[in-house]
């Protein structure tokens, strides 16, 4: 399993946009993934408060959902986002790392259904929640 995480971690670091945001794979199990992203001044959306831009959280959620699809036991050859909805429950606390947890609930011959939550260091109330559908299998 450690090997699998290492390989998947390398895969995520090879995604230029995920790497630019400093994303790190924390856990990977069949159909679930945990990916975190450090706080950085570069991804601030509101300069007055220092709160991270929603777009950076979207990128984290998208990557994490994609990883959950790829780790699903049905072994999809590749995946791409069809649709992703994000709800922003509250502002992430400036300076804190954001961690996304995604679960791929079901994969049909062509579609994967995923849900994810993102938290900062206060894990009681998520920062954001996501619902997405992804392509699965050989393509569209």
Binding site for other proteins (CB under 8 A): 14-18, 20, 41-48, 52-56, 58-63, 66, 80-88, 91
**Minimal distance, residue 6 CB to other proteins, in Å:** 19
Which residue, 32 or 135, has its beta carbon nearer to other proteins? 135
**Minimal distance, residue 1 CB to other proteins, in Å:** 25
Which residue, 2 or 48, has its beta carbon nearer to other proteins? 48
**Minimal distance, residue 29 CB to other proteins, in Å:** 22
**Minimal distance, residue 74 CB to other proteins, in Å:** 20
Which residue, 1 or 14, has its beta carbon nearer to other proteins? 14
Which residue, 2 or 16, has its beta carbon nearer to other proteins? 16
All residues at 6 or more sequence positions from 123 whose CB lies less than 8 Å from its CB, including other chains: none
DSSP states of the chain as a string? Answer: -HHHHHHHHHHHHTSHHHHHTT-EEEEEETTEEEEEE---GGGEEETTTTEEPHHHHHHHHHHHHHHHHHTSTT--S---EEEEEEEE-SPPPTT--EEEEEEEEEE-SSEEEEEEEEE-S-TTS-SEEEEEEEE-SS--
């Amino acid at each position: 399993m450690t090997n699998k995480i290492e390989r998947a971690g390398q895969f995520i670091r090879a995604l230029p946009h995920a790497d630019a945001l400093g994303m790190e794979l924390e856990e990977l199990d069949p159909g679930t993934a945990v990916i975190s992203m450090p706080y950085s001044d570069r991804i601030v959306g509101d300069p007055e408060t220092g709160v991270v831009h929603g777009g950076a959280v979207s990128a984290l959620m998208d990557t994490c959902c994609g990883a959950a699809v790829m780790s699903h036991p049905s072994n999809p050859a590749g995946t791409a986002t069809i649709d992703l909805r994000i709800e922003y429950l509250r502002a992430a606390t400036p300076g804190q790392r954001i961690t996304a947890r995604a679960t791929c609930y079901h994969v049909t011959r062509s579609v994967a259904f995923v849900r994810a939550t993102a938290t900062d260091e206060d894990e009681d109330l998520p920062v954001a929640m996501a619902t997405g559908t992804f392509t699965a299998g050989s393509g569209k």
